[in-house]
Each structure stands twice: as structure tokens, then as C-alpha cells.
Copies of this chain bind each other. A is one copy, B any other.
Amino acid sequence: MDQKVFETLQALFYPTNAAVVGASTNPAKLGFQALLALKTGGMAGKVFPISPSLKGRTVLDMPGYGAIEDIPEPAQLFVLAVPHDRIEGALISAAKKGAKGAVIFAGGFREVGEDGAALQSRIKQTADRLGVKIVGPNCVGALNLPYGLNATFGSPLSQMKRGRVSLVSQSGGTGSAILTTMMDNNVGVSKFVSIGNRVNLDFPELVQYLAEDKDTDVICLFIEGMDDGRAFLAAARQASKKKPIIAYQAGFTEATRRLALSHTGSMSASREIYAAAYRQAGVLFVSDYEELVDTAKAVSMLPQINGTGVAIFTHTAGPALIVAQTAEEAGGTLPDFTADHKEKIVGFAPQFTVPTNPLDMFAHAWFDTSMYLKAAELALSQPDIHLACACYSSGIDVGIRFPAAEFAAIAKKYNKPALACLMATHGGNGAVELSEADDAGTPTFNSPHKAGKTIANLIRLWRMRQGMG
């Protein structure tokens, strides 16, 4: 991408210092919540609270400043927690203080009609002239967790797991919901951008930027409609050669197009048109955001899959059937174990075990989880098996744990992906058990359908890398 734009975006996501314009001491105000978010984010640089009422006062242990001109050092990122009619003036002052990026929460632009569209167009001209990239307006802000940047008004987002999955969302509400789902599923997040009305920062630049970003391994997108589909597809085609891109989109049907138009002012085509275009650009198109989150989690934790061969191990055949079926419906295959491996399986597995793939080792494997490890070791040593999946049920309050660390270690030895489905994990204990398995290196899903869908998507990504669409 253009080097200058890259550097501008670097300054936006890794600002030396940051400022909140419209900061407040009143917790009911966005200007307070935005300040709290920046502070809890913990970035290395300084944070300057700015508001006429804060001159000479302290807020959240930080000295306040009466005006942008008064801050003692330059700041690269300005969070503008002021209404739409005060944005332009703030941008001009901020640019003089070193602004490269600005976050605009306020609505009142293109989404509200002609007057708003005219204002947005003026803001764009000003920002472009000043060399400032704008997140928003009409958005919930941006995150760069590896740097400790929380430029939203949601301080709890500072507690998200740091990681290597980045998300660009057209809708702030859906973006927040996806982040929460990532939080609930132990997905480590790098950058998040709520692009809102997209004054001069849109999917194409962000996809290019994230493709080059050293802190991002997977690019996730929530799209409602495109102003310039061609530019996005061109950017995605290049970016997807470097990193997986996963997209979820809404707004295909008539009523949703109506709302999308009044919402962020964008237009939309049919699902089929998008799906085909995205596939050609190497973008994995998913059906709901739960699937986006699950797939991003697996992709960010695992080596790439290098084929379609899946081995599934279980102590409970029914759920393994669901995993197998879901993977097979996306082109996955379940290769037979070799004659030698079959013999070995019969050697350690319980009586009546049929050494097929999926491999059901009955309740015995529930008690003696080492059977999973023995099976994985054999399966992953086969050249035609490219991924291992354990389909396990912890039972409730029983105290048996799936050996997630050992399972991950075996897969690592063969440089192949391995994941798990862990069911019947009711309530708090189940969530703890799942997150422990994740932390041990085996991405784990709480239903066979989710595990199967994730495997299916790893295979679809592989097929796209092979040019098989």
C-alpha cells in the first residue's frame, strides 16, 4: 500500500500520545468513558483530557487542558467526543498538534440526510487536506490491544485477551457484539476498527494495512454494503495472499437494504453476487458471526491445513458424526487408518472397537484419555491425514480433563492443526474448562457443529489457497 497512508495508520494505531476532546468528569458522558477506556488500555504514551471545564483540573489522575492548543506535547490520535457541529474545528486544531488519526463517535452525518451528507463531505475534504485519517463518524472507535490502545468508549474492552485476530466492522453494534463473542470464546484480539460512515478510512485501506501489520495474523470483516466494491476486491485479492481474510455480511434482503441505507448510507447487492466475488478474491465468506469468531480462533492458533484429510477421535459416537458430516459437506475427507495403525489401535483401544475413522473408543477413552493421544499420534503420522479432532465430553462435575496440552504437542510435532469439541460443559465450570483447553494450545469448541464448521472453513481456506475456490 501507499507508504504515506501506511505511516498515517501506524500513527493512528500506535500513537506516541493520545487526547480526548470533550473529556468529562461525569461518568454518564461519552467523554468520560472514552478517557477511562484510553487509561485502562494502558498504552505507553500520555493521554490528554481536553475540555474548557477541565482547565487546571484533574480527571482520572490526569491533568486536564482547556483547549487542544494547550496540550504540552504533540498527540497522534485524537478521540473526538463532541457533537457533529464541533468536529471540523477540532480536526483543524488537532492537526496543528500532530494528529494523524481521529476517532469520531458522533452521528448526524450522511445517515441523516442531505445536510448531514454535506457536512460529512466537508469533513472529508478537511481531513484529507490535513492528512488525518478518520475512524467513523457514527462509530464506536478503535482498539490496538498489543499496544494497549483502547480508543472506544468501552473500558471493559481493555480486558480482552491480547492476540493476533483483527476485526473491521461497519456496524458498531455488531462489532461490539462480535468482540463480546470473541471475549467469551477466548479469542486473542489485535486491532478493532468500527468504520461507521467511512469518511476517508474504509475496507480497502484497512485490509491493505492489516495485511502488512506485524501484530495481525487473521483479518475479520463485518460488512453491510460497499461503496466501492471493486477497490475492496482488489485490496482483498492482494491481502489474502498474505493472511486469511474472513468476512461476514448482512444486508442482502429488501428490508435490510432499506435499513442499511438509512443506517450508514451504503448500498448492497445479493448474497450470491458477493459470495462469488469474495471467493475469487480469496475471502472466506461465512454465514454468521459465531462462525467468524470460531474460525478466526482456530486460524490464529493453528498451522495451516495442507489437505482435506481429517481424523476424528471420540468416546461418544453421535457428536463425532456431526463433526464428520459438517467437515465432509465442505469437501473434507476421512481417510482410513493404515493396516498397521488399525492393528495398533485395536491393541490399545477397548474390546469391540472398530478401527475406522471417525474412531469411537467408547466410555473407556473418557476415563483413560491417553487413548486420544495414542490415536492422534498414529493418525497425524499418516501423510493423508492433515488435521486431528478430538470429540470429547467432560461430563458434569466429574473432574476428568481432556489432555489439551499433550494433544496440542503431538500436533505441533507434525506441524498439523488439531482442535477439540468439548461438550456437556454446563455453566461456569464448562467455560473454565474450555478456556483452559484453549490456553493449553488446543482450540476448543462447545459443540460438534461448531468444531465441524471450523474444520470445514480451514479446508475451504486451503482450497482457496490451492486456487480451487
Which chain B positions have C-beta within 8 A of A448? 174, 177
Pick the contact of A325: B112, B113, B252 (CB < 8 A). Answer: B252
A280 within 8 A of B: no
A156 within 8 A of B: yes
A156-B397, A184-B426, A362-B107 in contact; A318/B112 too (CB < 8 A)? no
Pick the contact of A289: B259, B426, B447 (CB < 8 A). Answer: B447
**Minimum CB–CB distance for A390 against chain B, Å:** 13
Would B259 and A360 count as touching, CB distance under 8 A? Answer: yes
Selecting from A39-47, A71-79, A349-357, the interface stretch reads A349-357
Would A447 and B259 count as touching, CB distance under 8 A? Answer: no
Would B250 and A322 count as touching, CB distance under 8 A? Answer: yes
CA gap between A84 and B263 in the complex, in Å: 64
**Minimum CB–CB distance for A141 against chain B, Å:** 14
Would A319 and B173 count as touching, CB distance under 8 A? Answer: yes
Would A224 and B426 count as touching, CB distance under 8 A? Answer: no
A176-B393, A177-B393, A289-B449 in contact; A318/B170 too (CB < 8 A)? yes
A428 within 8 A of B: yes
A251 within 8 A of B: yes
Q: Which of A376-402 contact B (CB under 8 A)?
A: 393, 395-397
CA gap between A171 and B264 in the complex, in Å: 47
Would A180 and B325 count as touching, CB distance under 8 A? Answer: no
**Minimum CB–CB distance for A315 against chain B, Å:** 8
Instruction: Kindly report how many copies of this chain are found in the complex they form together.
Output: 2
Q: Which of A409-447 contact B (CB under 8 A)?
A: 423-428, 430-431, 447
Which chain B positions have C-beta within 8 A of A319? 171, 173-174, 177
Closest to A153 in B: B395
CA gap between A424 and B224 in the complex, in Å: 19
Would B173 and A316 count as touching, CB distance under 8 A? Answer: yes
Would A325 and B176 count as touching, CB distance under 8 A? Answer: no
Closest to A262 in B: B354
A154 within 8 A of B: yes
Which chain B positions have C-beta within 8 A of A425? 180
Q: Which of A258-293 contact B (CB under 8 A)?
A: 258-260, 262-264, 287-290
A175 within 8 A of B: yes
> Which residue among A173, A224, A396 has the maximum number of chain B CB atoms within 10 Å of its CB?
A173
A192 within 8 A of B: no
Closest to A263 in B: B317
**Minimum CB–CB distance for A457 against chain B, Å:** 15
**Minimum CB–CB distance for A26 against chain B, Å:** 14
Would B250 and A318 count as touching, CB distance under 8 A? Answer: yes
CA gap between A322 and B253 in the complex, in Å: 10
Which chain B positions have C-beta within 8 A of A424? 176-177, 179-180
A369 within 8 A of B: no
**Minimum CB–CB distance for A392 against chain B, Å:** 10
Would B318 and A423 count as touching, CB distance under 8 A? Answer: no
A228 within 8 A of B: no
Closest to A169 in B: B318
**Minimum CB–CB distance for A444 against chain B, Å:** 14
A254 within 8 A of B: yes
Q: Can you report 13 residue pairs joining A to B where beta carbons are below 8 Å apart?
A: A107-B362, A154-B396, A172-B316, A172-B318, A173-B314, A173-B317, A174-B322, A176-B423, A180-B424, A184-B426, A259-B358, A262-B317, A263-B318
Interface residues of A (CB under 8 A from B): 107-108, 111-113, 154, 156, 169-177, 179-181, 183-184, 222, 224, 250-256, 258-260, 262-264, 287-290, 314-322, 324-325, 328-329, 333-334, 352, 354, 356-358, 360, 362, 393, 395-397, 423-428, 430-431, 447-449
The 4 residue pairs across chains A and B that have the minimum distance between CB atoms: A171-B318, A173-B316, A174-B318, A255-B334
